[in-house]
């Protein structure tokens, strides 16, 4: 009761109340900004993961000691393991690719037509051409950005060059062969669309001198974050020597950068809450000065220093909790409806915020994490509590005799 009543000043009625209002507003804005921005960062991370592992698998199996000539048997064993939804063998090799206009590097992947049609990053993302008769026509499926770089369309021919070609008495000679472009896909990730070229598996085995073998098997799991459990089952099921890696290891640098960015943004936006907490310090110091006579009377009536301390701590915590409550109440709906708000602003003011042509995302991603929201609210309360300690300590140490004498 005293904490709530002391949020209003008796003598200087407007100043402490105004500072309390500014504190609540600052904390509210800080909490709301943290929730919205962290939701966008989470959404971007989830979107990047879904696109990254849409072309690449979740688990990668490479042979050790002996070539992977038994790739069919190993793939069949993988498909029986609990948690694996899809597994396929492939030939993966770096090569040069050129058209009549341009030339560049590429990562050629030899896969079967059935497996290519099941790849999440390719399935449903073919922009030109078709995947039908992919193996029979011995054509290539290339990314949209690579097609733009080479200046080709479906039906045009491109040449693939590898340094490891035919074996002759004079050594290994480069091999160059022209293939028609069968289809063009767009995965949504620039690096993949610029780099990866799909070739029929049988053709890749001949072109790269790997008859009857594969050099990699990729597997997709139901839940990408649970790859550790699946890896344990793979080690137990596959008896031949293999080397296992997963999507986290292959993309470690990329996701480390995302984590650093996310942590940096969280730290920067937390400064807003910290500044608002400093306003709590200033407001409580003025409140202690304003309520000096009341504190003295309470002390003479038997109130302990601990009671006075608790009153002013509760006053500051009330300000912090109010700001946090309003911040969560505004931030959560804003994070959930962020893309609708973006579309409304674009329509109303004829803008193009977050254009899909640049970011390759059809909508502004936002993923609200309840644990993160709770952590932000808890951080706000902790900062508010720390901000109350010094003013409350000053109030508790106020000498009632001196306070009444000056009154």
CB contact at 8 A, 280 and 16: no
Q: What are the residues whose beta carbons fall under 8 Å from the beta carbon of 87, sequence distance 6 or more?
A: 57, 75, 78, 79, 217, 218, 219, 220
Residue 54: the pLDDT is: 66
Q: How far apart are CA 102 and CA 354, in angstroms?
A: 31
Residue 173: the pLDDT is: 74
* Segment-wise mean pLDDT, segments of 10 residues, the chain, 407 residues: 70 64 88 92 81 79 90 92 91 92 92 90 87 87 93 93 72 83 86 90 91 91 85 89 87 81 87 86 84 84 88 90 94 91 85 69 81 92 92 86 68
Nearest to 154 by CA among 130, 124, 170, 188: 130
Residue 179: the pLDDT is: 93
Q: How far apart are CA 123 and CA 238, in angstroms?
A: 29
Q: Mapped to the 3 state alphabet, what secondary structure does 224-281 carry?
A: HHHHHHHHHHHHHHCCCCEEEEEHHHHCHHHHHHHHHHHHHHHHHHHHHHHHHHHHHH
Residue 277: the pLDDT is: 86
Nearest to 129 by CA among 121, 119, 139: 139
Q: What is the chain's length?
A: 407
Residue 358: the pLDDT is: 64
Residue 213: the pLDDT is: 92
């Amino acid at each position: 009761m005293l904490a709530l009543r002391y949020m209003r000043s008796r003598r200087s009625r407007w100043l402490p109340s105004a500072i309390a209002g500014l504190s609540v507003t600052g904390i509210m804005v800080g909490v709301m900004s943290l929730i919205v921005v962290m939701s966008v960062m989470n959404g971007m991370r989830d979107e990047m993961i879904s696109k990254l592992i849409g072309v690449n698998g979740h688990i990668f199996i490479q042979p050790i000691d002996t070539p992977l000539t038994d790739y069919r048997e190993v793939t069949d064993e993988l498909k029986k393991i609990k948690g694996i939804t899809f597994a396929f063998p492939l030939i993966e090799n770096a090569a040069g690719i050129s058209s009549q206009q341009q030339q560049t590097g590429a990562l050629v992947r030899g896969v079967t037509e059935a497996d290519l049609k099941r790849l999440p990053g390719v399935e449903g993302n073919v922009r030109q051409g078709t995947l039908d008769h992919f193996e029979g026509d011995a054509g290539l499926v290339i990314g949209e950005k690579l097609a733009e770089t080479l200046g080709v369309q479906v039906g045009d021919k491109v040449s693939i060059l590898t340094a490891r070609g035919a074996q002759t008495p004079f050594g290994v000679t480069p091999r160059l062969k022209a293939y028609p472009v069968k289809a063009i896909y767009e995965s949504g990730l620039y690096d993949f669309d610029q780099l990866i070229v799909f070739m029929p598996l049988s053709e890749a085995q001949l072109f790269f001198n790997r008859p009857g073998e594969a050099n990699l098997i990729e597997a997709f799991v139901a839940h990408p974050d649970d790859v550790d459990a699946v890896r344990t089952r793979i080690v137990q099921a596959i008896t031949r020597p293999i080397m296992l890696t997963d999507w986290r290891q292959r993309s470690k640098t990329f996701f480390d950068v995302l984590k650093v960015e996310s942590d940096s943004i969280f730290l920067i936006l937390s400064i807003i809450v910290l500044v608002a907490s400093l306003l709590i310090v200033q407001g409580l110091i003025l409140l202690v000065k304003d309520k000096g006579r009341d504190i003295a009377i309470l002390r003479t009536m038997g109130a302990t220093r601990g009671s006075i301390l608790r009153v002013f701590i509760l006053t500051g915590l009330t300000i912090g909790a109010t700001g946090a409550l309003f911040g969560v109440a505004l931030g959560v709906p804003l994070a959930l409806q962020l893309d609708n708000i973006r579309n409304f602003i674009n329509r109303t003011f004829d803008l193009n915020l977050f254009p899909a042509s640049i970011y390759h995302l059809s909508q502004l991603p936002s993923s609200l994490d309840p644990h993160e929201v709770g952590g932000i609210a808890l951080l706000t309360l902790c900062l508010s509590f720390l901000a109350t300690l010094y003013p409350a300590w000053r109030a508790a140490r106020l000498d009632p005799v001196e306070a009444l004498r000056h009154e």
